[in-house]
Amino acid sequence: MANQCPISSQFVVFIIITYFMFILGELIRPLPRPLPNDILSLHIATRLRTDPNSIKLASSDYGNLVQENSIAVLYPSSIDDIVTLIKFANNCSTPLISISARGHGHSVRGQAMARDGVVVDMGALSENGIGIRVSSNRNPSSGYYYADVVSWTDYLYLTVGGTLSNAGISGQSFLHGPQISNVLELDVVTGKGDFITCSKNMNSELFLAVLGGLGQFGIITRARIILQKAPTRAKWVRLLYSDFSIFTRDQEHLISTNIPSYVEGSLITHMSPPNNWRSSFYSPSHYSKITSLLKSNNGHLYSIEVVKYYDDQSADTIDEELQSLLKDLGFNPGFIFKKDVALIDFLGRVGNIDNQNSEGQLETHPWLNLFVPKSRILDFNAGVFLDIIARHNQTSGPILFYPFNRNKWDDRMSAVIPDEDIFYTLGLLHSSRPDQSGNFDKLNNEIIEFCEKAGIKIKQYLPHYKSKKDWMKHYGPKWNTFQETKTKYDPKMILSPGQRIFNSVDSSDI
């Protein structure tokens, strides 16, 4: 019998070894730090949870690449709960506990986690009635209509606090700037536990530091954001290009006119097809037409997505306006695709994200997001799109590539961008099986190394570095201010340790 079934005996041995490895792993895994006793005497004790579900959620994120166990999760019912926790951490005898605000955990490298610390679930504030307050009056100083928001579960299912900690970019940023450029005022609980209202005119140092500040200086508990009247409909157009220089020339022309409401661009390959989770735009017949063009163009195409919003007042003239906008563009003849949709459907095109692959397995998302200076995009195309990405030939997610105007950003804020009037963003939004994520890390590293060798001064968006030296390089001339502001508002380095800027970094690396 044994001779007839050699695989099953090997299989049994394999199971036994795996079982013992698992037990061994469990035995040597460091135990989580216990919750300091005195925290339980605070009034927030009943809102601190240590149950496995709460810990598991706070120890994972969209990337599914990093796991850092916190010791507790705070579900604040008021801003005072957050103040109490941060003050407690400041007065805690060593070792200190760290604290991380968590929006929706849409980070991909553990940025909202706090190993052996406390994660603050910001969504709990809105559940406790501290939600969006839209004002029907104009802001006296700026003249804008505004909304006061804590967490804004919009179509992207991101939070305002989380996006303001990075920048908040989209196809509308060429016109309105990133989300951080549209903030009038913030309430922040600093790393010392001080509650401070700030704006460009009031406590401006903190205001500018927090915007794009990766959660390092304080927890945003309210943001006053500029609102505009929303039109009702959108003319949604996609244009396909075989030629990279015409594709980028046209994108730059579009963003210089200020006429479109939205401009994005992307790379299409066999591995990153025209329809994907960000939107399913093409009909089957259009899809096969594009696939034929893709084959005849060596497996790569470029696509511009341009959208113009309109409403009843502009309905009679919108087609003419769109035609005049597109008439001089150099897309491949016949490769223009149009839709006319309700604005709400355009905004909701991504829908909710599904974190499961078809086999029901949790996917990983080893994303890479970069800003690339305009002066080097031809080299970037040759080295990254036509060489590295083509060579790796891995099934990937969407590959975004579209430009911004630097004058819509405020360089005094913490967000870091290239030093050129126009720069592009690259979004490599990979999804992969967990056992394949290493291949995407290799691909990402190859791109970064290529840019370094070629002297292309990229900056990472949603940055992720392992050494302090890399962080200093990332911030460049802003580093000293960033560090000094950290010392002023979070001297004990309590906040957002998952970013690994001031915590968990080998200082011998400097």
Q: Out of 68, 81, 185, 264, which one is annotated catalytic?
A: 264
501 contributes a contact to ligand FAD by CB under 6 A: no
Q: Which is nearer to ligand FAD, 309 or 489 (CB)?
A: 489
Contact 313, 434 (CB under 8 A): no
The answer for residues whose C-beta is within 8 angstroms of residue 420's C-beta and 6 or more apart is 373, 374, 375, 406
Would you give the distance in Å from CA 291 to the centre of its chain?
Answer: 30
- Which of 168, 260, 274, 383 touches ligand FAD (CB under 6 A)? 168
CA 431 to each of CA 224, 277, 449, 485: distance values in angstroms, whole numbers, following the listed order: 34, 10, 22, 36
103 contributes a contact to ligand FAD by CB under 6 A: yes
Q: Please identify, among the stretches 128-136, 212-220, 375-383, 443-451, the one whose residues bind ligand FAD according to the rule CB under 6 A.
A: 212-220
Q: Please identify, among the stretches 68-76, 215-223, 236-244, 476-484, the one whose residues bind ligand FAD according to the rule CB under 6 A.
A: 215-223
CB count in 10 Å sphere of residue 314: 13
Rounded least distance, CB 417 to ligand FAD, Å: 13
Contact 112, 158 (CB under 8 A): no
- Which of 170, 275, 332, 395 touches ligand FAD (CB under 6 A)? 170
Type of residue numbered 102: R
353 contributes a contact to ligand FAD by CB under 6 A: yes
Contact 100, 113 (CB under 8 A): yes
400 contributes a contact to ligand FAD by CB under 6 A: no
496 contributes a contact to ligand FAD by CB under 6 A: yes
Is 321 among the catalytic positions?
Answer: no
Q: Which is nearer to ligand FAD, 106 or 300 (CB)?
A: 106
Distance CA 14, CA 8 (A): 9
54 contributes a contact to ligand FAD by CB under 6 A: no
Q: Residue for token digits 């910001």?
A: 122
165 contributes a contact to ligand FAD by CB under 6 A: yes
59 contributes a contact to ligand FAD by CB under 6 A: no
Rounded least distance, CB 351 to ligand FAD, Å: 10
- Which of 54, 64, 100, 269 touches ligand FAD (CB under 6 A)? 100
The answer for residues whose C-beta is within 8 angstroms of residue 21's C-beta and 6 or more apart is none
Convert 195-219 into a string of H (helix), E (strand) and C (coil). Answer: EEEECCCCCHHHHHHHCCCCCCCEE
Q: Which is nearer to ligand FAD, 154 or 311 (CB)?
A: 154
396 contributes a contact to ligand FAD by CB under 6 A: no
Distance CA 200, CA 53 (A): 40
b (16+ CB within 10 A) / e for 259-287? ebbbbbbbbbbeebbbebebbebbeeeee
CA 318 to each of CA 240, 324, 376: distance values in angstroms, whole numbers, following the listed order: 22, 10, 35
101 contributes a contact to ligand FAD by CB under 6 A: yes
Is 154 among the catalytic positions?
Answer: yes
The answer for residues whose C-beta is within 8 angstroms of residue 233's C-beta and 6 or more apart is 309, 310, 311, 315, 340, 341, 342, 343
Is 264 among the catalytic positions?
Answer: yes
Rounded least distance, CB 312 to ligand FAD, Å: 29
Q: Which is nearer to ligand FAD, 266 or 300 (CB)?
A: 266
Contact 403, 371 (CB under 8 A): no
Q: Which is nearer to ligand FAD, 62 or 174 (CB)?
A: 62
Q: Which is nearer to ligand FAD, 107 or 450 (CB)?
A: 107
62 contributes a contact to ligand FAD by CB under 6 A: yes
- Which of 76, 117, 123, 161 touches ligand FAD (CB under 6 A)? 161
The answer for residues whose C-beta is within 8 angstroms of residue 202's C-beta and 6 or more apart is 185
Of 451, 448, 410, 404, nearest to 423 (Cα)?
404
Q: Out of 80, 154, 345, 509, which one is annotated catalytic?
A: 154
Q: Which two tokens stand for residue 70?
A: 């916190």
Number of residues lying near ligand FAD (CB under 6 A): 34
343 contributes a contact to ligand FAD by CB under 6 A: no
261 contributes a contact to ligand FAD by CB under 6 A: no
Catalytic residue numbers, as ranges: 106, 154, 264
Residues that bind ligand FAD (CB under 6 A): 61-62, 100-107, 111-112, 122, 156, 158-159, 161-163, 165-170, 214-215, 219-220, 353, 462, 496, 498-499
